[in-house]
Amino acid sequence: MRLKDRVAIITGAANGIGLKASEVFAKEGARVAMADFNAEQGEKRAQELREKGYEVTFFQVNVAQRSSVDEMVEKVREAYGNIGVLVNNAGITKDAMLSKLSIEDFQAVLDVNLTGVFHCTQAVLPSMIENGKGKIINTSSVSGVYGNVGQTNYAATKAGVVGMTKSWAKELGRKGINVNAVAPGFIETGMTAKVPEKVLDQMKQMVPLARLGKPEEIANAYLFLASDESNYINGAVLHVDGGIMM
């Protein structure tokens, strides 16, 4: 097993990519802390994974609030011990054209997608430093690399995640902590399920592989970066986008 007995926190774990990553990590032997704001959904999904024989526990958290993050991390350490892997997967969208984007919606996306990544990473650092090693995986997006119409706030946060990833990789590498990012393209999730079929077809036409990605394809990228197979990868942004960035 590639993650045997490692303690991993995955944020945004109640659905979509985070949920699939929780299953993939647990299948590979990790003790997974499924962290999410949605307590009802998170508890339900964690129970479903436990029924499959996986070692997972749900922890409610609001990544935008530091006190909530600190409390979650402390509970994970009490339950499982020192944290070896952090996947900063939680994220939200509040899309609008620039002329119509409210200050509140702009700030809300920054609070979760950017400040939340800072909160979670800083909170787990003492545990990883004590271990003398760790893996931090941040979720960016192709939108953060090339921008996207109607996503000023989202694209800004995902570009910021890349900058933080590279800065932390330089700071923390000497402490045995690898910091990398994954930049998903168009993925089949609850978000894309709401997109009209005509728009989905247009999205697929932009991708050389001519299809949307699957959550497990992002989860497998997380797994690789969390495993020993990536021990000499640091400060990288792994694009999992079907070739859309070529």
Convert the pLDDT of each residue in 61-99 to its tens digit. 999 999 999 999 999 999 999 999 999 999 999 999 999
Q: How sure is the predictor about 245, in pLDDT bands with cuts at 50, 70 and 90?
A: confident
99, 78 contact by CB (below 8 A): no
Residue 56 in tokens? 């997972």
Q: How sure is the predictor about 198, in pLDDT bands with cuts at 50, 70 and 90?
A: confident
Average pLDDT over residues 218-240: 98
Average pLDDT over residues 153-179: 98
Whole-angstrom distance, CA of residue 175 vs CA of residue 43: 34
Q: How confident is the model at residue 225, as a pLDDT?
A: 99
CATH 3.40.50.720 fits 7-240, yes or no: yes
Q: How confident is the model at residue 161, as a pLDDT?
A: 98
Q: How confident is the model at residue 76, as a pLDDT?
A: 98
Whole-angstrom distance, CA of residue 59 vs CA of residue 79: 11
CA angle, corner 19, sides to 6 and 218, nearest 5? 85
Residues with a catalytic annotation lie at: 154
Q: Which residues contact 94 (CB under 8 A, 6 or more apart)?
A: 105, 106, 108, 109, 153, 154
Sheet holding 134-139, edge to edge: 56-60, 31-36, 7-11, 85-88, 134-139, 177-184, 237-240
Packed helices 16-27 and 215-226: angle between N→C axes, nearest 10 degrees: 50
Percent of the chain with pLDDT over 90: 93
In the chain, the amino acid numbered 201 is D
Residue 26 reports pLDDT greater than 80? yes
Residue 192 reports pLDDT greater than 90? no
Q: If you average pLDDT over every residue of the chain, what do you get?
A: 96
